[in-house]
Amino acid sequence: MSGLFLIIGRIVSVFCLFCLVSVPSAGGQAPPPPLYQVTLPAPDREARSALARQGIAIDAIGPDTITTIVKADQAFAFYRQGLTPLAIVPLDFPPADSAYHNYAEMVAAVGQVAAAHPDITRVYTVGFSLEGRAILAMKISDDPDADDPTEPAVLFFSLTHAREHLTVEMALEIIRLFTAGYGTDPALTNLVNTRELWVMPNVNPDGSEYDIEAGYYRWWRKNRRPNEDGSYGVDLNRNYSYNWGCCGGSSGWPFSEVYRGPAAFSEPETQVVRDFVLAHPDITAAITFHTYSELILYPFGYTYEDVPADMTDEDHRTFVALAGRMAQTNGYTPQQASDLYITSGDAVDWLYGERGIFAFTFEMYPRSNPPGFYPPASVIERETQRNHAAVTYLAAVADNPRKVIGEGGDVISPTVSIELSAETIFVGETITATATVSDDIGVTLVAWQGDGRLFALQTGPPFTVTWTLEASGPHVLQVSAFDAGGNQSVSALVTVTARDRPRLTFFPLILVDTAVPPAARR
């Protein structure tokens, strides 16, 4: 009986807290509807999956617990469901943060990059949201107008869930990385030349705008579908067709944060992603960015089995190897998606299960709340650049991701060496250097560096440069060679010495008149 009184007491105290925080302000304008972070016990993945089956959106996982962000009435309902929260904490709404890009600013930023790099970018409207906002995709490639089936394509897409604004910044950083690096970074230049890179910065623009349009964060997750019961929104990451509605991995209740929608692909936003992927069968790898928890998740989410009937052992080993290597670069934790809890109808399960794409979910910074979904703008640069190596690694192996476990693909690096026309010259003179390169398939780029500075990029033979040395002393020359498999080799350093020209010494001339006798000369 004492346990019952404890629960009743907690209900009363929580209800009183709701009453206090919901009083209108003195100016007569009601404050934003209060939201609460609720911590529930969940010692293992089965317990987490059981909570997810009840329609609870699991926002973060701690030791033996999960946390979820809910409105006041939803927090109160946990007790009616027989659940006893360990903590209920009211959340403050952070002020608007101008460093983050809203929808209009994102569109403008993408347009600015396209205008600055017309040789390697194109921007397409690939569809529209429910409320009519354009969903954009930027292509980055050395020939952006051509759809080259011989070049593997990689897809990066962000903001499936409306409140995960850091993912838009991640997409914009990927765009900046490859465009700014083209012609200045040999490895990035080679990837742009040999891949078709696609970036979709915001696939839920209606939800993301609703989350911020009131001047404070609404903690909104879904899109803005008006549901028949008066609620709004479908969880887009439960709306894909692969095992849609199965396994207790989503909810059929429209009020739920993980409402899967009335049918698979019922939402225009998921239809856009589906149709885009179907129109680009050369996509071999993908990352969908979410927040938060600092995880790299791979399929499947709908089952606890590591290798179910719809996945080969080779593919499972490939997922594990790829996730592990990417995690080594960014410090995230790699794991199968269902190790968190069962989900169904999500994008990554569909991308692999239906299309055979090696797709991953990156749950970005932070690991926990606070700061949760709304980290301060001061972390944007650090946390997006944190994924540079992972993004470029996946793009590099996209020609055949299974090569990471030895199942085919180009894994042999080129060989490269340098021949010089001379090893010693005078200052101001020019030497000629020739790179001797070979590869089992073919060299796609040669990059020359003199004294640590990139001064020439060549995509075809002859791989020869001239170098004028303007200062005396030793000068170091090195060349790198790349192939279409993303493999790279670097030559040995060679040294060229530039010497100052010898100075001419002049002696005074004494003119002697031979017509004068020697005695007279004295």
Q: How many angstroms from the chain centroid is the CA of residue 91?
A: 28
The contacts of residue 162 (CB under 8 Å, 6+ apart) are 204, 206, 207, 208, 210, 211, 220, 221, 222, 223
417 C-beta neighbours (distance < 10 Å), count:
15
Residue pair 360/286 in contact (Cβ under 8 Å)? The answer is: yes
Burial of 157 (0-12, 13-18, 19+ CB in 10 A): buried
Residue pair 18/76 in contact (Cβ under 8 Å)? The answer is: yes
3-state secondary structure at position 401: helix
Burial of 274 (0-12, 13-18, 19+ CB in 10 A): buried
Among 386, 441, 378, 368, residue whose Cα is nearest residue 411: 441
Across-strand partners of 127?
Answer: 135
Active site residue 363: yes
Among 502, 458, 504, residue whose Cα is nearest residue 482: 458
Task: Determine which one of 164, 209, 363, 383 is catalytic.
Answer: 363
DSSP character string of 334-350 = EEEGGGT----S-HHHH
DSSP structure class, residue 172: H
**50-53 contact pairs (CB < 8 A, 24+):** 50/248, 51/83, 51/341, 52/248, 52/249, 52/258, 52/341, 52/342, 52/343, 53/248, 53/249, 53/251, 53/342
Residue type, 284: T
212-165-356 Cα angle (round to 5): 135
The two structure tokens encoding residue 426: 């005078």
E-state strands within 20-150: 35-41, 60-62, 65-71, 87-91, 121-128, 134-140
Across-strand partners of 91?
Answer: 35
Q: Which residues are catalytic?
A: 363
